[in-house]
Amino acid sequence: MVDRLFWRAGFGPSQADRAAWTGKRASEPVDWLLNTPQGAPAGPQATLSGQPIDRLAGVTEAVLEWVGRMVSSRNPLVERLTFFWHRHWACSLDSVDLLFMVRQNDLFRRYADLGSNPNADFRSLAYEVSEDPAMLRYLNGELNRRGRPNENYARELMELFCLGVTDAAGNPNYTETDVRELARALSGWTIDTTDPNNPRGVFSASRFDNFSKTFLGRTGNFGSRQAVDIVLARPQHASYLVSKLWSEFIVGPPDATTLADLVATYTGNALQLKPLLRKILMHPQLFDSLSEPNLIKPPIVYVAGGFRQVGLNLVNTGPYSRLAEMAQVPFFPPNVSGWEYGSAFLTTNAVLNRWGFGSDLVGRLNPPDVPGETPQAAFDRAYATAGRPWLSAATRAAMLDYATRAPAGNSSARQARQRVLLAMALAGPDTHVM
């Protein structure tokens, strides 16, 4: 249960996590994850050429610095939620300045660090993202002005970020007229880069469409935050957002009773995130199928978790290349919808690079020779070095069978046996599920 919680709500457990929480009530580690501020890194920090990574030095550095944070995070839920918001409000370095994306990353982290920001709520997050330079640039909000409305952000605010296309009965959640009129209400925002270190979204009254608008059944001379309020007041919003957060942690949709309870918790707490997340992480369905994990690890979780479970962090640009081949590089979602999850990450090329990343880790571990080591001892050593991951009984049997049959008559053969066992523990089929 500790392993399940820390894989679903983070990037896998350390041995210290297992020691701290095994035998405790599930509420205790959940509350620790929700109430503990991010604080200083708890593990080895990422480096390039032996130096700390400057995330503003370039695109590669920004990506690797964030992966390194995931690995060394004191409270892994903070970075896991930061990545969730990055997926939800997807923007890409393909069309957005690096500094804008880094600042947006910090914005998401503020709403993910619930220990430091216990009253964080989705409404405030929606306000800030709507006025954020990265989003203004990515979805053309800076071009949206009186007389020349740009509909991109208005459409995605409803379709992807807050409501979804249709309700549970299949009825449209908005019309094309709603999109056009909402765009008018969102007009007037530009990007101020006067301070090169602190780009800001700023409101320009001269660019704002200062006339009456009608959308989603409301009429008035609405501005940006009023527009967000109207969207969030739609009954479809709560179930949409609740379902997206649920699917980040749990396989299969919530049943009707659970969904109604989660929606009531979310709306009854003024759209605050912590009460909702506590109910999701405490739900028994999170711990279903412990003997056969049933959620595929996204590449970012697999890579950060691999480093975390062996007590290492990245020291070169190799993980960037592996993530690119696995089709999930942070700051580069494929489109405004973010990444698809599940089996979409198990293409032939992605699986080859998952195995390759495991082999990269083995190279970092560089297992020593142990003369006279029995097959069982060789397996036990590889299993411990790999961080004691979940392995099925069939995989354990296959690994022990290999250890028994593999040549072990000299140092080179024994080291090869150990490397293969480590690779099986770090990149075999069982390591891709959580």
User: What are 208-245's pLDDT values in tens digits?
Assistant: 999 999 999 999 999 999 999 999 999 999 999 999 99
Looking at residue 341, its pLDDT comes to: 87
Number of domains within the chain: 1
- Are the CB atoms for 8 and 76 separated by under 8 Å? no
Looking at residue 315, its pLDDT comes to: 98
Task: Tell me the per-residue pLDDT of 305-320, one tens digit each, with 9 for 90 and over.
Answer: 999 999 999 999 999 9
Looking at residue 174, its pLDDT comes to: 98
Instruction: Give strand pairing partners of 214.
Output: 219
Helices then strands, each counted (H, E), the chain: 20, 6
Burial degree of 366 (CB within 10 A; 0-12, 13-18, 19+): exposed
Task: Give dist(CA 412, CA 418) in Å, integer.
Answer: 10
- Are the CB atoms for 13 and 7 separated by under 8 Å? yes
Instruction: Give the residue-averaged pLDDT of 62-81.
Output: 97
Q: Which two tokens stand for residue 327?
A: 């089709």
Looking at residue 14, its pLDDT comes to: 87
Looking at residue 423, its pLDDT comes to: 96
Instruction: Give strand pairing partners of 202.
Output: 190
User: Does the structure show a pLDDT above 90 at 342?
Assistant: no
Task: Tell me the per-residue pLDDT of 138-154, one tens digit each, with 9 for 90 and over.
Answer: 999 999 999 999 999 99
Q: Is residue 65 part of a domain?
A: no
User: Does the structure show a pLDDT above 90 at 63?
Assistant: yes
Looking at residue 216, its pLDDT comes to: 98
Q: Is residue 171 part of a domain?
A: no
Instruction: Give the residue-averaged pLDDT of 127-139.
Output: 98
- Are the CB atoms for 232 and 123 separated by under 8 Å? yes
What residues have CB less than 8 Å from 292, skipping those under 6 apart? Answer: 392
Looking at residue 44, its pLDDT comes to: 94
- pLDDT-based confidence at residue 248 (cuts at 50, 70, 90): very high
pLDDT above 90 covers a percentage of the chain that reads 97
User: Does the structure show a pLDDT above 90 at 43?
Assistant: no
Looking at residue 201, its pLDDT comes to: 98
The candidate with the shortest Cα–Cα distance to 364, out of 305, 307, 431, is 307
Q: Is residue 365 part of a domain?
A: yes
Instruction: Give strand pairing partners of 219.
Output: 214
Looking at residue 101, its pLDDT comes to: 98
Average pLDDT for the chain: 97
Looking at residue 167, its pLDDT comes to: 94
Instruction: Give the residue-averaged pLDDT of 339-346.
Output: 89
Task: Give dist(CA 434, CA 390) in Å, integer.
Answer: 8
Looking at residue 6, its pLDDT comes to: 98
Task: Give dist(CA 433, CA 397) in Å, integer.
Answer: 19
Looking at residue 327, its pLDDT comes to: 96
Q: Is residue 428 part of a domain?
A: yes
Q: What is the pTM of this model?
A: 0.96
Looking at residue 79, its pLDDT comes to: 98
The candidate with the shortest Cα–Cα distance to 54, out of 102, 109, 93, is 102
Q: Is residue 321 part of a domain?
A: yes
Task: Tell me the per-residue pLDDT of 172-210, one tens digit each, with 9 for 90 and over.
Answer: 999 999 999 999 999 999 999 999 899 999 999 999 999
Looking at residue 235, its pLDDT comes to: 96
Task: Give dist(CA 205, CA 105) in Å, integer.
Answer: 28
Looking at residue 134, its pLDDT comes to: 98
Q: Residue 162 carries which DSSP code?
A: I
User: Does the structure show a pLDDT above 90 at 279?
Assistant: yes
Q: Is residue 203 part of a domain?
A: no
Quote the domain boundaries for residue 341: 299-432
Q: Is residue 337 part of a domain?
A: yes
Instruction: Give the residue-averaged pLDDT of 127-142.
Output: 98
Q: Is residue 305 part of a domain?
A: yes
Q: Which two tokens stand for residue 419?
A: 């490397």
Instruction: Give the residue-averaged pLDDT of 250-255.
Output: 96
User: Does the structure show a pLDDT above 90 at 285?
Assistant: yes
Instruction: Give strand pairing partners of 189.
Output: 203
Computed from CA positions of residues 99, 104, 105, 109, in that sequence, does the dihedral angle turn out positive or negative?
A: positive
Task: Give dist(CA 201, CA 64) in Å, integer.
Answer: 27
Task: Give dist(CA 362, CA 428) in Å, integer.
Answer: 13
